[in-house]
Amino acid sequence: MIETENLTRKFGSLTAVENLNLQVNEGEVFGFLGPNAAGKTTTVRMLCCLISKTSGKARIGDFEVGSEKDCLAIRKMVGLLPENVGLYESLSAYKNLDFYGKLYEVPLQKRQENIERMLKLLDIWERKDEAVGNFSKGTKQKIAIARALIHEPQVLFLDEPTANLDPEASKTVRDFILDLKKEKRTIFMNTHNLDEAGRICDRIAILKTKLIAVGSPEDLERGTSNRKTVVHLESVSDAILAAVKKLSAVKNVRTSENKLILDVENPEKDNPELVRAVVKAGGDVQFVTELRSSLEDVYLKLIREAEAQ
């Protein structure tokens, strides 16, 4: 649904996005992570035809980003939730949505139905005629999300969708995004919230001007560091330590209280042998668990590596 090939944007001597190659599939929730000024918003703006690209190619569906004749079609098929909600504070929630519905050429009856459905879903229907300026940040964010969806776009770009929300409102928005995923909408989400990205994104890309990594949250967690096996014992003895150190699959071992923390090449293959060796050396095994890097660890590691280069 979204495809970029060496997509680059420069502002004078500053390169905001460099040779970005991405492919986002239809119906996918795609997370776009990166520090401030990594080029995330610039990428979204290029893909929404708001700013031009310096070089490279990008397509949304069948349309070419940057082509003057395709830009209106792209804007019609995408919805955008920008970083700043940008609602008209003196107008009501209903009038804000109605205005955008008209600009997106949604017929009157459909527009009324969509506004009612979304405001009810986001629990704002009772306050539909109140000026937006009276609402909390979280409620404004919800209205802005409804605005991005007023024309039922095939592709939705969300820039920090839960940035201003309390935990309950964040969950409402997350659940809403997951509902949209069920409707096979493609969602491209810029976020700093790694926990949220891990929970709702099918795949994640990490950007720092250049693309650093892309994959599912699980792949990223596994792929960037050695997987560790943790063996919880009643007590750790020298004999047990000696026994596990003899195993060729074990690259490193350390202890922490009554736990052995081991670097193993292939846990699925090597762990049974490891457990047998521990038991044979007199160890009483209580639990065997895996110690994975969190998405946060992966993200910080990759960003630091990119900064060091």
Angle at CA of residue 117, ends 121 and 75, nearest 5°: 105
Within residues 240-269, the interface with other proteins by CB under 8 A covers none
Closest CA to 164 of 143, 195, 179, 186: 143
- Residue 125 interacts with other proteins (CB under 8 A): yes or no: no
Which of 25/84 has CB closer to other proteins?
84
- Residue 188 interacts with other proteins (CB under 8 A): yes or no: no
Min dist CB 155 to other proteins, Å, is 12
- Residue 103 interacts with other proteins (CB under 8 A): yes or no: yes
With contacts defined by CB under 8 A, name the span among 79-87, 114-122, 255-263, 264-272 that binds other proteins: 79-87
Within residues 144-163, the interface with other proteins by CB under 8 A covers 144, 147-148
- Residue 136 interacts with other proteins (CB under 8 A): yes or no: no
Which of 12/167 has CB closer to other proteins?
12
Residue 90: Cβ-neighbour burial (10 angstroms; 0-12, 13-18, 19+): exposed
**Cα 91 to the center of its chain, rounded Å:** 32
- Residue 166 interacts with other proteins (CB under 8 A): yes or no: no
Q: In sequence order, which residues have a C-beta less than 8 Å from that of residue 248 and are 6 or more positions away? A: none
CA distances from 242 to 55, 85, 228 (A): 59, 60, 18
What secondary structure, in 3-state letters, does 207-248 show? EECEEEEEECHHHHHHHCCCCEEEEEECCCCHHHHHHHHHCC
Residues 16-55, mask of contacts with other proteins (x by CB under 8 A): -----------------------------x--x-xxx---
- Residue 85 interacts with other proteins (CB under 8 A): yes or no: yes
Which of 85/240 has CB closer to other proteins?
85
Query: Could you tell me if 35 and 196 are in contact, meaning their C-beta atoms sit under 8 angstroms apart?
Result: no
Residue 135 DSSP one-character state: S
- Residue 105 interacts with other proteins (CB under 8 A): yes or no: yes
Which of 131/247 has CB closer to other proteins?
131
With contacts defined by CB under 8 A, name the span among 56-64, 72-80, 163-171, 239-247 that binds other proteins: 72-80
Kind plus residue range of the DSSP H or E element containing 130:
none
- Residue 91 interacts with other proteins (CB under 8 A): yes or no: yes
Closest CA to 8 of 32, 39, 29, 41: 39
**Could you list the residues that contact other proteins (CB under 8 A)?**
11, 45, 48, 50-52, 72-73, 75-76, 78, 80, 82, 84-91, 95, 99-100, 102-105, 131, 144, 147-148
